[in-house]
Amino acid sequence: MRYNFDEEIDRHGTNSRKWEGMQEMFGRNDLFPMWIADMDFKTPPEIIDAIKKRADHGIFGYTFRSESFYDSIIKWMKGRHGIDVKREWIVDGAGVVSTLTMAVLSYTNPGDEIIVQPPVYYPFFRIIQNNGRIIVNNPLKLKDERYTMDFEDLEHKITKRTKMLILCSPHNPVGRVWKREELETLGEICERHGIIIASDEIHSDFVYSPNVHTSMLLTDFKELALTFIAPNKTFNLAGIPSSVVIIPDKKIRDRFLIASENFELETSNIFSIVATETAYTYGAQWLDELLIYLKGNFDLVKAFFEEKIPQVRLINPEGTYLGWIDFRNLGLSDGELYNLITERAGVALDDGNLFGIGGSGFQRMNVATPRHLLLKGLERLENALRR
Ligand SMILES: Cc1ncc(COP(=O)(O)O)c(C=O)c1O
């Protein structure tokens, strides 16, 4: 291993939301943080060096993205995911959630319906509701500890006002890596009803063998999809946001570009450009090693629960670094469970109810932390349960 993911780095004094910003969500700041999706690992040294080098120049004027920036994305998509992306398909963004919001504004009108598949990344609800659109829930089905899409329910929920589906692929928080057949079925239904698919693929670089990420871009329905990718999660760059949206269909793309112009979002953050290009050019080995480490962390969580608290189960994570943990067998109410975790164990997890329908009795645990810290959090949970 060239990179050391066991190194513990003190994040206090950096305005880290995960470590120092718990007050708003949990009412206190002294919990052991295993919530919010960023990692306690340093970004690859190549990225740190590139940012330092750019900072040393000292002038940070208006900056554009060079062709080498787009090349790095095209090569990453081909090398990592086997996807041929054309340069003209790539549209700039400044983070996935804000770019998804622009998609909502571009392709739907107030009062239109947008489908989500809960339990799901909860900002999706906000960007629909806060913009006067209507959330239509197509809940995932859980059977034998595995989640699948409910296509029958989907067909029933679609009306003339349904204009968009926001897909989470891989799925945060349940950890599914959707298979080609599932995506083709979804695509076929959406195409038949004229529904655009906004495919949030921010977690696509976190997939554990034998699972393989299939982008919407690799399906027969890529023309009705917008695919959102970013180095933010993969390389722990959430504080210098950057993203792109890949839109093969020219008409759909042009509509998005108008919204983008209307928001006057042309200026780019110098450091996010440098970080993105460096990440996609030099980050592959670091990511390969990180994936091995994260898989080891998930194995630890699974074994820990099996051995020490067998009533608690980790849903098999096919992708992402977020564990979806089933506490339902403890027989506690949601309030009691929250109390047990925050008050008695002193741990911050993301409460399942935040993720909408199907979240009750579950908690999301971020495992992207040095292994000894992960163990510390697990032991706190175990001790609280024993008491
Ligand atoms: C599915 C999903 N989309 C988007 C984001 C956030 O993206 P960004 O920080 O680029 O807005 C997250 C962060 O956890 C996520 O899990």
**Model confidence over 42-78: pLDDT tens digits?**
999 999 999 999 999 999 999 999 999 999 999 999 9
Rounded distance between C-alpha atoms, residue 119 and residue 167, angstroms: 12
pLDDT over 80 (residue 264): no
Q: Write down the pLDDT at residue 265.
A: 74
* Strand order, beta sheet including 350-351: 313-314, 322-326, 362-366, 350-351
Taking 90 as the threshold, does the pLDDT of residue 262 lie above it? no
What is the mean pLDDT of the segment spanning 370-377?
98
pLDDT given for residue 260 in this prediction: 85
Ligand 1, atom 13, lies closest to the CA of 37
Shortest-distance atom of ligand 1 to CA 99 = 11
Q: Which residue has the higher pLDDT, 1 or 84?
A: 84
What is the arithmetic mean of pLDDT over 110-126? 98
- CA 126 to centroid of ligand 1, rounded, Å: 13
Residues of the chain with CATH 3.40.640.10: 60-282
* Range list for CATH 3.90.1150.10 in the chain: 17-44+284-386
Assess contact for 112 and 162: CB atoms under 8 A. Answer: yes
> CB within 6 Å of ligand 1 — which residues?
37, 95-97, 121, 168, 172, 200, 202, 230, 232, 238, 241, 243
- At 387 the pLDDT is 81
Maximum CA extent, the chain: 61
Contact 238, 232 (CB under 8 A): yes
Per CATH, the homologous superfamily of domain 17-44+284-386 is Aspartate Aminotransferase, domain 1 (3.90.1150.10)
Share of the chain above pLDDT 90, in %: 96
CA of 223 to the centre of ligand 1 (A): 23
The pLDDT score that the predictor gives to residue 49 is 98
Nearest to 192 by CA among 151, 245, 228, 232: 151
Which class is domain 60-282? alpha beta
CA of 245 to the centre of ligand 1 (A): 13
User: Could you give the C-alpha distances from 57 to 13, 50, 54, 60, 354, in angstroms and in order?
Assistant: 26, 11, 5, 8, 44
Amino acid letter, 148? T
In this structure, which residue's CA is closest to atom 14 in ligand 1?
37
For 78, the enclosing helix (H) or strand (E) is helix 67-81
pTM to 2 decimal places: 0.97
Mean pLDDT of the residues in the chain: 96
User: Residue 92 above 90 pLDDT?
Assistant: yes
With cut-offs at 50, 70 and 90, classify the pLDDT of residue 116. Answer: very high
The CA–CA distances, whole Å, from 140 to 58, 151, 153, 155 equal 50, 9, 10, 14
